Amino acid sequence: MFSKTRTPKKYCIIILYSCALIVSFFAFIAPAGASDLSALNNSCVDCHRTLSPFTDEQSRFNEIRQNHTERNISCSLECHEDIIRKKATDNFQQWSDSGHSAYYVTCDACHGGNPRAKTEAEAHASMKGVKDSNSSIYFKNIPETCGKCHTEELDHFKNTMHYQRLQSESRAPSCVTCHKPHTFRVLKASELVPLCSVCHNPVDQIAAASVPKDAKNALEKAAELQEDVLNAKNAVADAKAKGKDVTSAQLDLDKATAVMDSVPSLWHGFNLKDFDQQVNNGIDWAKRAQFKTSDAEPTVPARAPGVGIAAVFGIFAILYLIRKR
């Protein structure tokens, strides 16, 4: 019989493993949505998922490392580093954690191929290598590949020196320079200085050397705009709930919100002066909306029709009775 106070270790392992399988299953199908189960029939995902981290091989090495640690055996990772690093940076795992995965934008959207195929050869038959100039992931073609979904960003990017250099030489940034392939994350302001400094530095003298710092300041100001818009929305909502007239404040808030929504596309024009001016305008409108809500007067309730006329007749009736007396 089992102890009432402790479940056997092997049964704990079975329970935990079963729970992990259930959670993994629902986490995998969630992005596709219940109404689009056909999207799960994707050989890219089916195949590359088996190459993701936490496979049996990696779990075995992790157990070895854990045993070494428990026995105070130092591990410099010289034995296991390569395998664990490759597994941890697997392309599928990076995609799984990205925004593309959440919207079920799968491998074929960028790489091409046939996601309905059931064999590796069929799935990859139409794909072209990264060095093929006709490939969708060839460095000059990447903006157009990303632009199939991100149209506004592409329109702004095409008007930049970055795009012109990309078409004429290989040493120029494209979408994956900043967003990285497979992770597709948005950079933080603090990450811009080292990235932009690769080209924008006193040695190479590409544009002004202050560009990395200016870019960092610009993104920080965009974050300030986002915070001010949120504060303005709360202020307008509170004033409206108190019966105040927020018509003018709402107009300013709408202008600020429009600027905030256009920040991603504006940023890809890499015109820091124009970007800074637009964001400053948005911040001013947001602050103006907040100020107007603090001075807004309560809305005067509308009187029922005929009340004014009845009041006039009532006054005349009272005067007539007084005079008659």
pLDDT digits over 82-122, tens only?
555 555 457 888 888 888 988 889 889 999 999 888 888 89
d(C-alpha 26, C-alpha 11), whole Å: 23
Helix (H, G, I), strand (E, B) or coil at 123: helix
Tell me the C-alpha to C-alpha distance, in Å, between residue 134 and each of 85, 128, 285, 307: 32, 7, 46, 78
How many residues in total does the chain contain?
Answer: 325
What are the φ and ψ backbone dihedral angles of 159, each rounded to 5 degrees? -95, 15
Dihedral sign, CA of 93, 98, 101, 107? negative
Distance of CA 67 to the CA centre of its chain: 39
Specify the pLDDT at position 304: 46
Instruction: Please determine, for residue 73, whether its predicted confidence score (pLDDT) is greater than 80.
Output: no
Tell whether the torsion through CA atoms of 71, 73, 79 and 81 is positive or negative: positive
67 vs 28: CA distance, rounded Å: 31
Going by pLDDT thresholds of 50, 70 and 90, the confidence category of residue 130 is: confident
Q: Write out the two tokens for 52.
A: 């993701």
Higher per-residue confidence, 119 vs 205: 119
Strand, coil or helix: 132: coil
- Can you give the pLDDT at residue 302? 45
How high is the pLDDT of residue 243? 93
pLDDT in tens, 153-203: 999 999 999 999 899 887 788 899 888 888 888 888 888 898 888 888 888
298: phi then psi, degrees, rounded to nearest 5: -60, 140
DSSP state of 75: -
Q: Rounded to an integer, what distance in angstroms lies between the CA atom of residue 257 and that of residue 198? A: 34
Global pTM value: 0.61
- Give percent of the chain with pLDDT exceeding 90: 37
Torsion region of 206: left, alpha or beta (phi above 0 gives left; psi -120 to 50 gives alpha): beta
Contact 292, 252 (CB under 8 A): yes
* Structure confidence by residue, pLDDT tens digits, 5-58: 455 555 555 555 555 555 454 444 444 444 444 455 777 777 776 655 555 655
